[in-house]
């Protein structure tokens, strides 16, 4: 039998050799790297690993923003007294005092985190007429409760079981099995504070005689729930890895983190070199995700041709999947850098759930400037069954813009909001209010940028078929 070799024959064309060979020096964006006949010289070995660790750190940041956001949210809520037996809420509404990703000023929020490893199976009694969502600690969707959930807004009892739970499951509950012990519970009661205060969270073991529910009002508390943009980002992620089941994170992201030294059951103690690289990676990645969010290059981010209004779901998939089934990593990073998800934000039926559009640009493509005045025209027939809102945010924190207005919003629930004679609603922005239009005005801050989020609760068909669309933000 003849022997077969893959080695190039003496007659192999030079261009083929060039395509598979390594030159003695290669110029890269990270500097020159040198070789001896394809073998890396000592400085090249060092530079290669520094580069690899930096690139992996950047990718790990972008891919793990959802988890870091949950870790920061839980830490922030704990700082104001919220634990797995306590619901933090906003009465009557959230102000701009808390640093919370794209919170709104219109609905009454309730928040807590489950601790299924400590409390065991846990019951949540969801309020009626609510839009509630539960995400696990990697911020993957677990379930909706309320209007978009199986109780269809009538209120209901949900039983959350710990990962790997094998015990008996009683009847009478909507049963949910998160992949992590910790899960973020967001309660949005459309009926206001009185409705939200009917919510209950307690261990299943106490179901026969539930304890009195504890509540903490954090509407005006100054605390931070936003993840870090420096080395401590990776410490936030390590906190999740160490406390959650090893199989609760997909192998790809777990592999990225393991390459950086973040492994379940092992202390995360990077040396000075690695700490410096990861600090650079976090700062670089946080800059990249801001470019992705505010100047996306994927045309799928834009609602309308020639418009600046954007959606964080370019494929209209809450799992950030393309029609071909590929994960849209940029889309996922953008969304979780600014908010938290529920399928109701993407796949809501007409008249249910909510829809959102955002922009940080005026009609000329310039960034919105807190020293200038602008108008936004919402044509008559705003497609919202329940209500609509225009909220203003700080691009640094992605939280409500802090001014002497505690509620930086114009919305259909607000007092003094006036429509024009033709039925359009004009929203004004700027450092001073236009005379006679104070109810339609949001104050901005000279020297600061800002961005706006249009919210539609109970979106109607004219939103989906785009027969209605908002105007662009026009400089005055």
Domains of the chain: 40-81+225-294 (1.10.3360.10), 83-217 (2.60.40.1610), 296-475 (2.60.120.600)
pLDDT of 4: 44
The pLDDT value given to residue 344 = 60
Residue 55: partners with Cβ closer than 8 Å, 6 or more residues away = none
pLDDT at 1: 45
Q: Which residues of the chain have pLDDT under 70?
A: 1-16, 341-345, 347-348
Residue 366 has what pLDDT? 98
pLDDT tens string 336-371? 999 876 666 676 678 877 899 999 999 999 999 999
pLDDT score recorded for residue 340: 75
* Distances in whole angstroms, Cα of residue 279 to Cα of each of 50, 285, 293: 13, 10, 21
The pLDDT of residue 210: 97
Q: Residue 10: its pLDDT value, please? A: 58
pLDDT at position 267 is 98
Exposed/middle/buried for 342, CB within 10 Å: 0-12, 13-18, 19+? buried
**What are the tens digits of pLDDT across the range 405-446?**
999 999 999 888 999 999 999 999 999 999 999 999 999 999
Question: β-strand 200-203 against 122-126: which pairing, if any?
Answer: antiparallel
pLDDT of residue 19: 79
Burial class (CB in 10 A: 0-12, 13-18, 19+), 316: exposed
State the CB neighbour count (10 A cutoff) for residue 324. 6
Q: What is the pLDDT of residue 190?
A: 80
pLDDT at 5: 47
Collapse the DSSP code of 343 into the 3-class scheme (helix H, G, I; strand E, B; otherwise coil) and give the result.
Answer: helix
């Amino acid at each position: 039998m003849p022997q077969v070799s893959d080695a190039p024959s003496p007659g192999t064309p030079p261009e083929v050799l060039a395509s598979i060979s390594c030159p003695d020096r290669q110029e890269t964006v990270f500097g020159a790297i040198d070789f001896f006949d394809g073998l890396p010289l000592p400085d090249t070995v060092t530079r290669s690993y520094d580069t690899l660790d930096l690139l992996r750190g950047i990718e790990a940041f972008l891919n793990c923003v959802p988890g870091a956001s949950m870790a920061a949210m839980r830490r922030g809520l704990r700082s104001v007294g919220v634990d797995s037996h306590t619901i933090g809420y906003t009465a009557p509404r959230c102000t701009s005092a808390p640093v919370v990703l794209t919170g709104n000023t219109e609905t009454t929020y309730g928040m807590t985190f489950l601790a299924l490893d400590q409390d065991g199976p846990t019951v949540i009694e969801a309020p009626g007429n609510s839009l509630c969502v539960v995400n696990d600690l990697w911020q993957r969707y677990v379930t909706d409760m309320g209007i978009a959930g199986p109780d269809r807004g009538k209120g209901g009892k949900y039983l959350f079981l710990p990962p790997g739970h094998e015990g008996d499951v009683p009847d009478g509950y909507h049963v949910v099995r998160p992949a992590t012990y910790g899960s973020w519970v967001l309660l949005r009661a459309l009926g206001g504070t009185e409705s939200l205060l009917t919510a209950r969270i307690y261990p299943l073991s106490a179901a026969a005689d539930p304890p009195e529910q504890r509540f903490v009002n954090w509407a005006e508390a100054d605390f931070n729930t936003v993840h870090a943009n420096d080395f401590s980002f990776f410490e936030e992620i390590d906190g999740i890895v160490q406390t959650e089941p090893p199989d609760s994170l997909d192998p790809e992201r777990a592999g990225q983190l393991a390459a950086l030294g973040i492994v379940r059951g092992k202390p995360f103690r990077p040396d000075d070199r690695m700490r410096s690289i990861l600090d650079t990676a976090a700062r670089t990645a946080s800059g990249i995700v801001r470019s992705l969010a505010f100047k996306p290059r994927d045309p799928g981010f834009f609602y309308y041709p020639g418009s600046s209004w954007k959606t964080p779901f370019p494929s209209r998939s809450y799992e950030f999947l393309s029609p071909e089934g590929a994960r849209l990593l940029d889309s996922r990073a953008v969304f979780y850098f600014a908010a938290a998800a529920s399928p109701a934000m993407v796949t809501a039926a007409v008249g249910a759930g909510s829809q959102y559009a955002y922009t940080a640009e005026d009609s000329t493509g310039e960034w919105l400037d807190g020293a200038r005045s602008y108008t936004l025209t919402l044509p008559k027939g705003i497609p919202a069954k329940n209500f609509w809102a225009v909220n203003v945010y700080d691009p640094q924190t992605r939280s409500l813009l802090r001014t002497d207005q505690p509620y930086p919003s114009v919305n259909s629930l607000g007092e003094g909001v006036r429509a024009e004679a033709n039925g359009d609603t004009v929203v004004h922005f700027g450092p001073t209010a236009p005379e006679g239009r104070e109810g339609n005005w949001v104050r901005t801050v000279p020297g600061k940028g800002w961005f706006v989020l249009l919210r539609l609760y109970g979106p109607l068909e004219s939103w989906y078929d785009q027969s209605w669309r908002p105007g662009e933000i026009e400089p005055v």
